[in-house]
Structure 1
Amino acid sequence: MLLEEVVLVDHEDNEIGFAEKLEAHRQGALHRAFSVMVWDSKGRLLLQRRQVDKYHSGGLWTNTCCGHPRPGETTLQAAARRLNEEMRVICPLTPIGTFTYRAELDAGLTEHEFVHVFRGTYDGVIAPDPVECDGYSWTSPDVIRKQVAAEPQCFSAWFKKYVEAEWPIAPPG
């Protein structure tokens, strides 16, 4: 597997360097990331279940797609690239804000991310890459809130923070 670098940032998202992705998560270093929320025309959010063998948070439900821009890549470019790679979805994405969080994960890792959040609308076929995703579900915001409250251990740390903040799990419009 090729080593992947992430962009280290300060608390205002100014680039301050690069680090190998796994090492950044071991150290809890603040780095740039993105999250994508894809909605259908019925107001349901596309959730994915992370592939069980992922290096962290395997088997947990989360937003449509997330990841890290590569050095020299914009967050929008990275979000569109990973959305296609993970879920085989291509749709226009709109930035809707940023979200900074820190969370302790499994395997002794720490997520400390300055996240750029994007929204898209899509009603086509979903054909996720099985290396990335073990399943998916189109789910309404009310059901998401109930599921996270009833079984928080089934959801990624960052997605629980989004739901707790009630942002950005609201359909467009």
Structure 2
Amino acid sequence: MILPPVILVNEQDEPVGTMEKLEAHQKGLLHRAFSVFVVNSAGEMLLQQRALDKYHSGGLWTNTCCSHPLPGEETLAASHRRLVEEMGFDCPLEEIFSFTYRARFDNGLTEYEFDHVLVGTYNGAVTPDQAEVQAHRFLPLDSIRALLKEEPGTFTHWFHLAFPKIADYLEQARK
């Protein structure tokens, strides 16, 4: 399976090259990524359950969408593109923070990502790509916190890392 290239970066998110996505994950090289978190006007977060046949973390619950910008593509533009491709809608997005994480998976792949975290609000229809998304649902932040404690193995590694900061941001914004 040949996947599109990712942008390899240094620890300051400066591009240092490109590499086919699967190869970058096999070698565990740092690359640029983004995670989009969408909430509705009631403050509920839109989660997706990754399709079972994804190359890693299949069947796990996570944020609204995530991916990698293509070489030459701005992260914000890539976030809008993938939101439409994965979830079937678009909305205004704002980058809130970024972080670097590394996670090794049972299949030998390693996510080593400089992850840009974006947030948006949307209240319309959600029509996900079935090849990408097995299921989706809006949940209140407190329900997500409870699920992360009760069923931590049902969520992606990066969701555990990003959710607390996003939840704090969203709760402060609602005050």
Q: TM-score band (shorter)?
A: over 0.9
Show the counterpart of 1:61: 61
Q: Give 1:101 shift.
A: 0.7
Show the counterpart of 2:165: 167
Show the counterpart of 1:77: 77
Alpha-carbon separation, structure 2, partners of 1:102 and 1:120 = 25
Helix, strand or coil: the match of 1:168? helix
**1:57–1:106 Cα contact (<8 Å) kept:** no
Give the AA of the match of 1:11: E
Which deviates further from its counterpart, 98-107 or 64-73? 98-107
Deviations 1:125-166 (A, max 9, x none): 011110000000101111111101111110111101223xx1
**1:105–1:157 Cα contact (<8 Å) kept:** no
% same residue: 52
Give the AA of the match of 2:102: R
Show the counterpart of 2:146: 146
**1:39–1:121 Cα contact (<8 Å) kept:** yes
Show the counterpart of 2:22: 22
**1:94–1:120 Cα contact (<8 Å) kept:** yes
Q: Give 1:169 shift.
A: 2.8
Stretches of structure 1 that go unaligned for 5 or more consecutive residues are none
Number of residue equivalences: 171
1:87 matched to 2:87? The reply is: yes
Alpha-carbon separation, structure 1, partners of 2:55 and 2:101 = 19
Helix, strand or coil: the match of 1:76? helix
**2:100–2:115 Cα contact (<8 Å) kept:** yes
Alpha-carbon separation, structure 2, partners of 1:49 and 1:137 = 9
Deviations 1:44-81 (A, max 9, x none): 11000000111110000000000000000000010000
Give the AA of the match of 1:169: A
**After the TM superposition, which residues 29-44 of structure 1 pair with which residues of structure 2 at under 5 Å, given as runs?**
29-44=29-44
Give the AA of the match of 1:147: L
In the superposition, the TM-score normalised over structure 1's length comes to 0.95
In the superposition, the TM-score normalised over structure 2's length comes to 0.94
